[in-house]
Structure formats: structure tokens, C-alpha cells
Structure 1
Amino acid sequence: MEVREENTQNGKFPFKLGFGLLFGVVGWLVPYLGINTTLLPAKIQQISPDNKVQIVALLATIAMIVATIANIIEGALSDRTVSRWGKRNPWIFVGMITTVICFFFLTKVTTIVGLIVNWSIYQVALNMMVAPLVAFIADKAPKKYRGSISAFYGVGNNMGQPVGTLIASNFITNISSGIYIFIVFEVVFTLLSLFLIGDGSNVGEKSKKLHGAELFEAFSFPIHGDVRDFYFAVFGKLLFVSAQSIITGYQLYIFTDYIKLSSAGAAHNLSIMSIILLITGVLFGIIGGPLADKFHSLKLLVALATVAMGVGIIVPGLTPSTWTMLVYATLSGAAMGMYNSVDQALNVSVLPNPDNSAKDLGIVNLANSLGQVLGPIVASMVVGFAGYRFIFPAAGLMCFIGAVLIILIRKVK
């Protein structure tokens, strides 16, 4: 695959690509995390308060299975799409429309079965957006600016959780209104993203015909080429995101059931946490990419950020108090900012086959999606066995193991 390095002839930085990626990831991530971490648990609490922890874990398990299959298939099809609107845009647009429909029906669902069906369809639609969007980095980002372009994507990632939670925390008792806000948010930012990136027609581009082993490889996890570093990056990311999601997936219940706050008190502290995460995440996200480009160091920054996340996560396990969650928010916000700013540049650098960039980047990014559902599953088991306090050291250990995997990557400094 030939990378289209826009503006490299005159040395200009591709700002439109950068901001397009930032708005694109904000467009799907803010609604997803706002609903997944706050409004969906609140709705489950309304429908079945006695089984809420187990239902969150069940939804996460089903979502993980559906997302795994959808991400690989949709990413591979995106790599081979030829149309007047480009290879990525049709998938992102259809994904946006379908997720909006799912959000609308989420406001109408009154049963756990209905939630499961709706959330499963949503996972299929969501991955139509995620896998093609991140592939724009491999498609269009000049190599010398890859760290900085990744930082735009990372800043969008850093804004996802705090902005989503900040919005959602105001609608815990009015869930449907919050979902409608997220629908508008997603449509506006996704369309703005597609306009800025401006990926035009690729009619006439030859799409590689697949048969035999090539067909299998196009729709499967990579097994040929330099896959060692690729899988270290995948599992390092999976552990990082899972650890983070152990806390974010149950943050409402941590405040109400572990720290023993009222719903109003929980909403207030979630808002404060969101502001802290937003400020620290964006600040460290802005400086991470340029530092990586300047010092040519991706692996070390990702590993250090993973360790910092682990340290921050351990703190709330010391005592059930609001101040420990605010310390966690400060450290984890800085860690996520640095991590997300250079993570995608690291991922692009370890791709085993550029012809399968969307599919393979989708698999790496699948670690992000799977981590967001695996975390609550782990948390549910730990809470059921030992109580809330022990989810914090468990998540911290996952981060430290993830940092080791990143350090073991060979082909990237």
C-alpha cells in the first residue's frame, strides 16, 4: 500500500488530517464511553438493581465477542473497498447512522434482553467507524510527522472518557435526554471529521484479489511477517485499557458502594474527576507526540505511561475516600495523555503487512474495545470474590505486566 503523504512536498504539517482524526475519535468515543460507563449502568440499575454488577459483566462479555468478530471483518473489507467516496468513508458513515439508531432504541428498551440485543448490534456498528478511522494514520500520515499525527488521535482519546462522563453525569436521573445529547454530538463531530480528512474517490485503485491462504490472512489475526512485536503491542495495550476499564466501568458503583456516597454525591465527584482527566489528559497528550518525534522514542514513552497508570490505579485501594479517586484521576489522566499521544504511532510501526493496515490496526485497536469490556468482567469477578478494595491492586498489576510487554518490542525505540 502506498502511503499518501499530503503536503510533504512543501514540508507543511497536515493539520487537516490531524484535526480530522481528533474530531473523528471524539465523535464515536465520547458517546460510547459516556453511555457505557455511566448511562448504561444507570439504566441497568433502574431495570434490575439487585443484579446490576452481574448484568454489566454479561453485557461486557457479549460485546467483547461481537466486537472481536466485527472488527476483523469490517477492517479487512475496508482495506479492499473501492468507491467514489473512498475506501474508509462509506464504512464510517454507515457506522455512524447505525449507532445513532441503536442509541435511539436504547432510550426505549425496558428489559435486559432488549439491552443485550441492542448493545450487540451497536458493537457491530461501532467497529465500522473505529477500524477505518485509525487506518487513516497509515494511509495518509507522513512518516516524519507520524508521532504528532498520532498525538491528535491521542488527544481525542484523552477527551473521550472525561467529556463523556462529564456530560453523562448530568443525566443519571434523565437517561434518555443524555442519550439524545450524545446522538447529536456523534453526528456533528463525525461529519466534521470526514470533511476535514477529505478522503476522496479511489475508483480505479486495484483491489487485491484474494484466494486460498491470502483470503484466510485477510480475515484473520496476522500469522506471517514480523508478528512478534505486533502481538506485544496488542497485549500491552489490552492490559493497559483493561486495567483502566476496571475502574471506569464501575466508577459509579465505586462511589456509591465502596466510598458510600449518595447518587448526587457520586455525580458531583464524577464531574470533578472528569475535569481533572480532561485537563491532564489533553496537556500530556499535546506534548507526547512532539516529544516522540523529537527524540525518536515511542516504546519508552508508552511503557512509562503504563507504569504511571498502574501507580495511579493502586491509590484508591488504600482507603475508601474521595481524595484517593481524585489522585487516581490526576495520575491516570497524565498517563492516558502520554500513552494515547504516541500509542497509534507505535502501532503503525509494528504492522506486519501494510496491505492489511485497517484490519491489523483494527486488531490493535480491538485491544482498546476488548479492554473496555474485559475490565468490567475482571472487576465483577474480583468484587464478587473479595470486594471492591481488591480491584485496585489487580488493575495495577495488569498495568505493570503490560509495561513489560511494551519494553520487549524490538523494532521500535
Structure 2
Amino acid sequence: MDAQKSITGNFQFTRRMKIMDEKQVAPEAEPKGKFPYRLGFGLLFGLLGWLVPYLGVNSTLLPAKIQQIAPDQKVQIVAVLATIAMVVATVANIIEGALSDRTVSRWGKRNPWIVLGMFTTLICFYFLTKVTTITGIIVNWSLFQVALNLMVAPIVAFIADKAPKKYRGSISAFYGVGMNIGTPVGTMIASQYITRISSGIYVFMVFEVIFTVIGLLLVGDGSNKGEKVKKLKGSELLEAFIFPIHGDVRDFYLAVFGKLLFVSAQFVITGYQLYIFVDYMKLSSANATANLSIMSMILLITGVSFAILGGPLADKFHSLKLLVAVSTVAMGLGVAIPAIDPAPWTMFVYAGLSGAAMGMYNSVDQALNVSVLPNPDNAAKDLGIVNLANSLGQVFGPICASIIIGAIGYRMMFPAAGIMCLVGAILILMIKKVK
């Protein structure tokens, strides 16, 4: 099936959702015109430009390098690294998103930050191939978080900047497809370089440049010179650089924490997937590599398939938040499965269920996020905070896993991840602004 046509299953659903929202414009006022495919594919490529390299290195090559340097302390080191990265990413995301919202230049408000982020992440990747100590890795990865978030918040803000309201759900589906491609593709590439870590990082560097440049060219964000930027004073200046405190923030924070729990549960497994195969399932490195590739392929197929189906499913059930909540529950079932048996088949079942869940979730997640923004003037900063749940979840998940592994072993981390998902689903269902 043509992916572009499948994705458009979101169109009519999104239109009805916006009509039901009393704060959105009436149907007559909605802009007319063709569907913005260039924007959709630009977001897809731009997202893959940073996501695939980041997840490939973070989930596989970085743990492999840590295992080479300090095999006896690897679990604890991953947790420490994740904690530091979480703090750095939180601060960087808010500040950099706010600066992007208020940038006026001949290259637009988003492009300068994305390009700067691309170059600085490449520098960090290069030096990651050279470091030989745990201290060096921690310093490098902390700087990498600052560089990465120069790209993350501005790219997702293109949805709020450029997507017509009646097409936001469909544009979100492009982003969702990218999210579901990113994890398995990053893992599949990285799994081929577990014993050649530096070579794998170089491959990801080339990938990042190609895909980011293609994404920016497709989006075509031009000069915004002459755009008036509201001058900020006193409390307004403070609010521009902090978590939102005014407006309809209840639903905003429900979406943030619901997403955080969903992603955290995913990365309880993803953050330790190499160690799960080697330490929990007692496989050799060669067998672990083979099984990682199989698991990643299952994630890719189910994730992309259900991301494309997300629109029609949302259309049938007439609810963004219901689809997100159901997806979160499905993820909870998937992440709990490996507790049944320390054998590879449980990871394959996990991959099937979680891939489907991530596909459905990500296909409408950004539409939900845009709908709960408390202030459109702070779109990049606030969307960055919502999507910071991705970054924080990738950190918080491994931290939780490390604590559980250290206390009672690998087996109990799987049901713990399932409980995270159930709580996340409840938070999403509590959102009032979106049906």
C-alpha cells in the first residue's frame, strides 16, 4: 500500500476533532489547499536524521563500549550516565526551545539551531570514538545531550509552525512513522558493529548529515526577517524559559507524564536489551547480535504498519486519547512478557506487541500534544517539554531497570515496566480538552 495514501486516513478524523474543540477555528476558517507532503516527508527525514544515530549509539554501541572498558560495573555506569544525561537534557531542551521560538534570521527561526545541533552532535560522536575512560564517556555524552536538543525541539515545532490545523493529525502520522522506524533501524545498524564500535559511530555520522539535510530542504523553512517577536519583561521573560505555569496547563502536564511513563517503560528494555540477551538469557555475543537483528526487524515491521493504520483506527473510535491510552496498555503487556521465560522468543513477542503499540501511539501522539499546548507563542519550548519525555524516558527507564537489576535481578524489571504503562494510560484518559 502507498504509505502516503494510507497516512491520509487521519484527515477526516482530525477535522472532526478540531471542530469539537471549542478553542479551534470553525471549519470555514480553515485554510484550503493541497496536503503538505513536503512538510510531512521533511519532518520524517529530519526526525530520522537525529533519532536513528542517537538510538543506535545510546541503546547498543554505548553500552558495548562501556562493557569493554568496565565490564563489572556496566549496569551501574549506564544508570549514572543516564541520570546525568537526564538533568542536562532537561535544562538544554527548555532553554534551546525558547531561544528557537524567538529567533529571527534570513534562514528562519528553526534552521540555524538544527544545523548547529547537527554539527555539534557530529563533533561529540567523533570524540566518543576516541575516549577510553568512563569519565571521558560521561563528559562526552553530557555535551552530546546539549547538542542533540538543539535539533529535537525545533524539528517538532515545524508541526505547530507550518501544518494547517485540519492536517495536523496526518502530519503527526509522518512523525509517528519516523519514531517507529528510528528505534529498530538504529538497533539493526548498531548490532552489526558491536565489535567495531568506532566504525558504527562513523556510519551514523554520515547517516545524520544526509537525512538532516534532506529534511531541511523538504521543509523549506525560509527567512523570517521582519517577523515581530514579542519583547519579554519580568514574569513573561521567566515563563519563556521555564515549564509553563499559566493557561490550560492541566492537560498539558497529563500528556507530558503519560508520555514519560510510556517511553520509560519502553526503555527499561531498550536501554538494557544487549545485556538482557547476554546476562539474563545467557547468550553469546554472536547469538545476541543475531537475536537483536530479528527483534529489530519485528519492531520495524509492526511499528510502521500500525503507524500507518493509526489514522483509520482513530477515525473509527473518534478519540485521540483513547487510541493513545489503548496503545499504552498494549505496550504494558508487551514489556511484561520477557518475565515469563529467559528465552529469545519472549523478546520477539515483546517486539511484536510493543511495535504495534508504538506505531499506533506515535501516529497521533503529536496531534494530541499540539492540541494541549497552553501558549502557541512558546510552541517549540512547550513541544520540546512534551517531547522531552522521550529523552527523559530513555534515561529514566534504564535508571529504574538498573535499580531493579541490582536489587532483585532482571526478571522483575519487566512487570515494573508494565505497571508504568498502566499508570500512563490512566493519565492520558484524564485529559479533558481532547476527545
TM-score under structure 1 length normalisation: 0.97
Structure 1 residue 351 and structure 2 residue 387: aligned?
Answer: no
Determine the structure 1 residue equivalent to 2:148.
Answer: 126
Determine the structure 2 residue equivalent to 1:89.
Answer: 111
CA distance in 1, matches of 2:257, 2:298: 28
Q: What do residues 311-349 of structure 1 show as CA deviations (whole Å, max 9, x unaligned)?
A: 011111011011110000000000000001110110000
Q: What do residues 154-175 of structure 1 show as CA deviations (whole Å, max 9, x unaligned)?
A: 1000011100000000000000
CA distance in 1, matches of 2:321, 2:147: 32
Determine the structure 1 residue equivalent to 2:397.
Answer: 375
User: Residue type matched to 1:28 in 2?
Assistant: W
Q: What do residues 79-98 of structure 1 show as CA deviations (whole Å, max 9, x unaligned)?
A: 00000000000000000000
User: Residue type matched to 1:302 in 2?
Assistant: V
Determine the structure 1 residue equivalent to 2:423.
Answer: 401
C-alpha RMSD of the superposition: 1.3
Aligned pairs for 1:252-401 (under 5 A) are 252-292=274-314, 296-401=318-423
Question: Which one of the candidate residues 34, 37, 48 is aligned to 1:15?
Answer: 37
Determine the structure 1 residue equivalent to 2:99.
Answer: 77
Cα contact 2:31–2:164 (8 A) shared by 1:
no
Q: What do residues 96-155 of structure 1 show as CA deviations (whole Å, max 9, x unaligned)?
A: 000001001100010011101110110001000000000000111111111110000010
Structure 1 residue 411 and structure 2 residue 394: aligned?
Answer: no
CA distance in 1, matches of 2:318, 2:112: 35
CA distance in 1, matches of 2:281, 2:313: 38
Determine the structure 1 residue equivalent to 2:192.
Answer: 170
1:389 is paired with a residue whose SS is coil
**1:53 to 1:125, Cα distance in 2 relative to 1, 3 A:** same
TM-score under structure 2 length normalisation: 0.92
Cα contact 1:144–1:293 (8 A) shared by 2:
no
**1:224 to 1:10, Cα distance in 2 relative to 1, 3 A:** closer
The structural deviation recorded for 1:9 is 5.4
CA distance in 1, matches of 2:313, 2:222: 32
CA distance in 1, matches of 2:260, 2:179: 15
2:411 is paired with a residue whose SS is helix
Determine the structure 2 residue equivalent to 1:155.
Answer: 177
User: Residue type matched to 2:274 in 1?
Assistant: L
Determine the structure 2 residue equivalent to 1:144.
Answer: 166
Question: Which one of the candidate residues 185, 197, 210 is aligned to 2:232?
Answer: 210
The structural deviation recorded for 1:11 is 2.8
Question: Which one of the candidate residues 98, 107, 117 is aligned to 2:139?
Answer: 117
2:192 is paired with a residue whose SS is helix
User: Residue type matched to 1:284 in 2?
Assistant: F
Divergent runs of 4+, >3 A: 289-296
CA distance in 1, matches of 2:102, 2:215: 21
Cα contact 1:239–1:402 (8 A) shared by 2:
yes
Structure 1 residue 27 and structure 2 residue 62: aligned?
Answer: no
CA distance in 1, matches of 2:230, 2:311: 33
CA distance in 2, matches of 1:94, 1:294: 42
Question: Which one of the candidate residues 231, 234, 256 is aligned to 1:234?
Answer: 256
The structural deviation recorded for 1:10 is 4.9
User: Residue type matched to 2:376 in 1?
Assistant: P
The structural deviation recorded for 1:295 is 5.7
The structural deviation recorded for 1:292 is 3.4
The structural deviation recorded for 1:287 is 1.7
The structural deviation recorded for 1:296 is 4.3
CA distance in 1, matches of 2:199, 2:258: 37
1:283 is paired with a residue whose SS is helix
Q: What do residues 19-52 of structure 1 show as CA deviations (whole Å, max 9, x unaligned)?
A: 0001111110000000000000000000111100
- Structure 1: gaps of 5 or more residues: none
Aligned length: 408
2:247 is paired with a residue whose SS is coil
User: Residue type matched to 2:169 in 1?
Assistant: G
Cα contact 2:38–2:218 (8 A) shared by 1:
yes
CA distance in 1, matches of 2:56, 2:354: 18
Question: Which one of the candidate residues 65, 75, 79 is aligned to 1:57?
Answer: 79
Q: What do residues 231-284 of structure 1 show as CA deviations (whole Å, max 9, x unaligned)?
A: 000000000000000000000000000011000000000000010000000001
- Structure 2: gaps of 5 or more residues: 1-24
